[in-house]
Amino acid sequence: MLDKVKELITEVESFNATTANEIETFRIKYLGSKGIIKDLFTEFKNVPNEQKKEFGQTINLLKNSAENKVTTLKEVIENAVEEKGVYGDLTRPSEPIELGSRHPISLVKNQIIEVFNRIGFTVSEGPEIEDDWHNFTALNLPEYHPARDMQDTFFIEKNPDTLLRTHTSSVQVRYMEQNEPPIRTISPGRVFRNEDISARAHCIFHQVEGLYIDTDVSFADLKQTLLYFTKEMFGKSKIRLRPSYFPFTEPSAEVDIYWGLETETDYRITKGTGWLEIMGCGMVDPNVLKNCNIDPTKYSGYAFGMGIERIAMLLYQIPDIRMFYENDVRFLEQFKSVI
């Protein structure tokens, strides 16, 4: 009897199959509810007591080896099916193609570029690591000028100063040094300031700088260009220019757009006034033109600068600036439909 079971074990171990049907027949033969192993367990009660232990152990061995055989053969067959054809089942639905999304900062930057391209502005760029001349001195901010404190700077090296640019106005200087008027250019880019990080401010953010130099450029030209921009960008047609101060422009102004109170649900967007500050601007200071080898008696021009994050937050109702830099896909995925 025991020998018969041992024989069965050898039989099971040497069994091989190439199709799922063959495996199933094998499984039913040995492990099925009317199978060989079931019968052996029934016979177990007729085995004399002194042989019970060994007999029981051997049947269990047979059972385990039959079960193992079924699992390994099934795996072999499944892998073989996968390897069989590159195409597999042609009627199977295809793998979904995941679409990526552009970052909201890129979306808004591209939109701004497009609006200004339509009225003849080209795009220019400059380095993020700047020298003192392009970031400060040429922009009418000589050493020890108190207005340097308006922008807390990350210095890389002292003497000569190397720093992370605090604004994209540095690109104005580079562009004027290398190009003759007429000049119409916008310069998007990343800027850095040593500021505490909060929901409204970050030490890394993005700006777009605008520069227009030609003969007879007036403040009215500036205002009209900005009005065109706010209409195209936000669909808002009321702006106001408040007198302000920037060392590189004279006169200088802060631009507010009338946003209205319809979206003012939490008093945070316009603080209940309806007006919203979106950029700084002004007529390029003659000293700056001179520093860049442009004759201020012949040419005049305007400049403006705005923060991209601020505009993106407004357009997409993003409550916290930190969301732009966390790369949380749940946030980024929401921009899939925007191109």
Stretch that binds ligand DAH, among 18-26, 29-37, 220-228, 278-286 (CB under 6 A): 278-286
Residue 305 binds to ligand DAH (criterion: CB under 6 A): yes
Residue 300 binds to ligand DAH (criterion: CB under 6 A): no
Give least dist CB 111 to ligand DAH, A: 19
In the bound state, the residue with its beta carbon closest to ligand DAH is 305
Instruction: Figure out which of the listed residues 282, 294, 299, 310 binds ligand DAH, where binding follows CB under 6 A.
Output: 282
Residue 281 binds to ligand DAH (criterion: CB under 6 A): yes
Stretch that binds ligand DAH, among 35-43, 72-80, 123-131, 275-283 (CB under 6 A): 275-283
What is the β-pairing status of strands 122-123 and 183-192? parallel
Residue 303 binds to ligand DAH (criterion: CB under 6 A): yes
> How many residues are present in the chain?
339
Q: How many residues bind ligand DAH (CB under 6 A)?
A: 11
Residue 232 or 250: which CB sits closer to ligand DAH? 250
Residue 31 or 241: which CB sits closer to ligand DAH? 241
Site string for ligand DAH, 143-172 (x = CB under 6 A): ------------------------x-x---
Q: Which residues are CB-neighbours of 202 under 8 A, at least 6 positions away? A: 195, 309, 321, 322, 324, 325
Stretch that binds ligand DAH, among 216-224, 291-299, 301-309, 313-321 (CB under 6 A): 301-309
Structure tokens that stand for 285 in this block: 């200071």
Q: At what angle do helices 308-316 and 104-117 cross, to 10 degrees?
A: 100
Residue 104 binds to ligand DAH (criterion: CB under 6 A): no
Residue 246 binds to ligand DAH (criterion: CB under 6 A): yes
Residue 22 or 128: which CB sits closer to ligand DAH? 128
Residue 249 binds to ligand DAH (criterion: CB under 6 A): yes
Residue 58 or 140: which CB sits closer to ligand DAH? 140
Contact 149, 142 (CB under 8 A): no
Nearest 5°: the CA angle 167, 172, 177 is: 135
- Give the number of other CB atoms < 10 A from CB of residue 230: 20
Residue 247 binds to ligand DAH (criterion: CB under 6 A): no
Residue 304 binds to ligand DAH (criterion: CB under 6 A): yes
Instruction: Figure out which of the listed residues 132, 209, 256, 285 binds ligand DAH, where binding follows CB under 6 A.
Output: 209
For residue 300, list its beta bridge partners: 214
Residue 289 binds to ligand DAH (criterion: CB under 6 A): no
Q: Binding residues for ligand DAH, per CB under 6 A?
A: 167, 169, 209, 246, 249, 280-282, 303-305
